[in-house]
Structure 1
Amino acid sequence: MTSIVAALLAATAVWASPPISTRQSITPLTTSQIDQFTPYTYYASAGYCTNTQTLAWDCGTNCDANPKFKPVASGGNGDSVQYWFVGYDPTLNTVIVSHQGTNPSEILPLVTDADFFLTPLDPILFRGISSDIEVHSGFGNSQASTATDVLAAVESAMSTYGTTSVTMVGHSLGAAITLLDSVYLPLWLPAGTTFKTICYGLPRVGNQAFADYVDANLHLTHINNEEDPIPICPGMFMGFVHPAGEVHIEDSGEWAACPGQDNPSTQCIVGDVPEIWDGDESDHDGPYNGILMGC
């Protein structure tokens, strides 16, 4: 770990909540339940590939794992704008939306630096959403940069392939953008569209009102790996709250379903990583059931 990252970790230690040892209705996932995430994990990992690779669906193992996928659109430049792609999976009969993540040394400053603030969602993109709902300004700006292009691609894919199902995936920064897409897209797509969101290594994105809105309106699963420090940032003391839907991969390999928002059990990420310096950056990229994130 670099000295800069170590300093950032130490500086944010007070942001994590103290551990509470409890098993409050925490249940392990079965092997079958874990394996059901595998296609989506590969789609999240493919988000790291260039827009040219994903549009051609020629990105090595990540693409080979879902060989029937039909790409519709892709974008981003991998720098100022994260890569993204949209397409249709005929096996799952759903449109897939995936956003590129970033490595831990790049996302840590974004989630620990004081140079951001909670801000209301863009009232034009997020029409009708209460101004009480606030999100991390950096994540909001990243999502806004691709929002209308992603929406157009999803509309095209739904029309072309005759599906009413949309599944959104992402890892790290890509997970944060994906979660915001999951609030945005239902505001613009036809009634009767069904949505599912699967995030990996998700940092906290918004305030209590945001988490409550997600819980009331989204079908979200966010998967955390072992001692990954990213999911406990930004700190709760700054007003950030995780929505429900956590699944925590423990050191034993068990996948634990953790009910509620920011479950403090030692089987869940908040209890397992009570201080930032207890985390391990190398856990951020996985493995998630044997799959490491990256192209």
Structure 2
Amino acid sequence: MQQHIISSNCSAIPTVKSFKSFSSFKLTFIISLILLSTLIEAVPTPFSSSFLNKRNDNPSNDDLKTFADFAAAAYCQSSFFPKWNCGLLCNATNGTVVTFIATHEENKLIVVSFRGTVPDNIKTVITDAKFLFTDYPPAKDAKVHTGFYQAFLETQSDVFNEVQNLHKQHPDFKVLYTGHSLGGALTLLSALDLVQNSTSFIPNKNFFVVTYGQPRVGNSVFSKYVDKTLKVTRVTNGDDPVPHLPPQFVGYEHHSGELWISDPEKSTSAFVTCNGPEDPKCSDSVAVNQLNANFHMGPYFGVSMRACNAINQQSLNQLTSGLGVNKLQTNI
């Protein structure tokens, strides 16, 4: 396993300064080629500025939409953003943004967002040779997807250290970990890592772990460990096949926390609150011959993970006004 790190303190060139929601962002981009397929180019719809005031059983619909915006943001290629003033270091990444960590000063929020992959390739990525289990050291007899775990290890220390530092600087900020598709698997493993190893962070009502279209990550022992350790919201969409992978018959099991958007063609915001790790009344109820990959990219609460293709340059300039950027690249 080889690791090549490229880092720099870069200043975005702000071209629009009137976009209040992002004017206070300080953003660290972590560039990582950790997935085994071609990543799609996407940019989120304009972000909501509404955040939770307190932790309820589940985030509100408005918050789930906002969190989906952040999950979609990880699909942005750097070419969609204003040019960054860091010369060859910016060019060296070839524009692939896989993970970003950001602080939102106005709304007192730290965001960690992990990128997913293309629906055409995801079945291959999830079920290739690396779908075999590997031991998960924090929990006895727990096992996880080998490919997911290797990808997590590539950025483990960088993500952990950055979030730890930001939380020490902003102890009153809420913390959000989010991601779509394979990014949801990395979200889960990284959020667990923060809880396990942080000396200053205590998971409470101000900590949110929300995934969209997440595949299964580990076995039943791992599932139970997740449920004891974290409050996770796992959003599934209609007949999306990805939450059905890797299959249960080879030993995989979801953790609890599923919110199933049961009829996205009628409403992308109406969901069923599911019970336990594999509720037969939720996405597990969809027959194999009814699964449809078109649902994988959303929309989730009105947010498409393909939204990058729908946003113009002016909107992107507004979203990235005043950003400070660090870039890092790793390879498996």
Tell me if both proteins adopt one fold, taking TM over 0.5 as the criterion.
Answer: yes
2:76–2:97 contact (8 Å) kept in structure 1: no
Amino acid across the alignment from 1:44: A
* Unpaired runs of at least 5, structure 2: 1-58, 85-89, 309-332
1:101-127 per-residue CA deviation (whole Å, 9 max, x = no partner) reads 111112111223354311112x4xxxx
Deviation at 1:57, TM superposition (A): 11
Helix, strand or coil at the partner of 1:155: helix
Deviation at 1:77, TM superposition (A): 5.3
Amino acid across the alignment from 2:105: P
Q: How does 1:34-73 map to 2 (within 5 A)?
A: 34-50=61-77
* Structure 1 residue 33 corresponds to structure 2 residue 60: yes
Cα pair distance change 1:78/1:211, threshold 3 Å? farther
* Structure 1 residue 85 corresponds to structure 2 residue 97: no
1:212–1:243 contact (8 Å) kept in structure 2: yes
Amino acid across the alignment from 1:117: L
Q: How does 1:1-295 map to 2 (within 5 A)?
A: 33-50=60-77, 83-121=98-136, 123=137, 129-163=138-172, 165-189=174-198, 190-194=200-204, 195-251=207-263, 252-253=266-267, 254-265=270-281, 268-271=282-285, 273-275=286-288, 277-294=289-306, 295=308
Q: What TM-score, normalized to structure 2?
A: 0.65
Helix, strand or coil at the partner of 1:37: helix
1:166–1:193 contact (8 Å) kept in structure 2: no
Cα pair distance change 1:238/1:87, threshold 3 Å? same
Deviation at 1:140, TM superposition (A): 0.4
Mapped to 2, the partners of 1:243 and 1:164 lie a distance apart of 26
Structure of greater relative contact order (alpha carbons < 8 Å, 6+ residues apart): 2
Mapped to 1, the partners of 2:130 and 2:178 lie a distance apart of 27
Amino acid across the alignment from 2:111: I
Helix, strand or coil at the partner of 2:131: coil
Deviation at 1:147, TM superposition (A): 0.8
Helix, strand or coil at the partner of 2:120: helix
Cα pair distance change 1:248/1:78, threshold 3 Å? farther
Mapped to 2, the partners of 1:82 and 1:240 lie a distance apart of 29
Moved over 4 A (4+): 51-54, 76-79
CA RMSD of aligned residues (A): 2.6
Identity %, equivalent residues: 32
Cα pair distance change 1:236/1:193, threshold 3 Å? closer
Mapped to 2, the partners of 1:241 and 1:280 lie a distance apart of 21
Amino acid across the alignment from 1:274: A
Deviation at 1:166, TM superposition (A): 2.0
Amino acid across the alignment from 1:270: D
* Unpaired runs of at least 5, structure 1: 1-31, 59-73, 124-128
Amino acid across the alignment from 1:188: N
Deviation at 1:207, TM superposition (A): 0.5
1:243–1:261 contact (8 Å) kept in structure 2: yes
Cα pair distance change 1:82/1:144, threshold 3 Å? farther
2:139–2:225 contact (8 Å) kept in structure 1: no
Amino acid across the alignment from 1:84: T
1:247–1:257 contact (8 Å) kept in structure 2: yes
Helix, strand or coil at the partner of 1:221: strand
Mapped to 2, the partners of 1:51 and 1:181 lie a distance apart of 23
Cα pair distance change 1:57/1:153, threshold 3 Å? farther
1:88–1:161 contact (8 Å) kept in structure 2: no
Helix, strand or coil at the partner of 1:166: strand
Cα pair distance change 1:34/1:53, threshold 3 Å? same
1:229–1:284 contact (8 Å) kept in structure 2: yes
Cα pair distance change 1:256/1:57, threshold 3 Å? farther
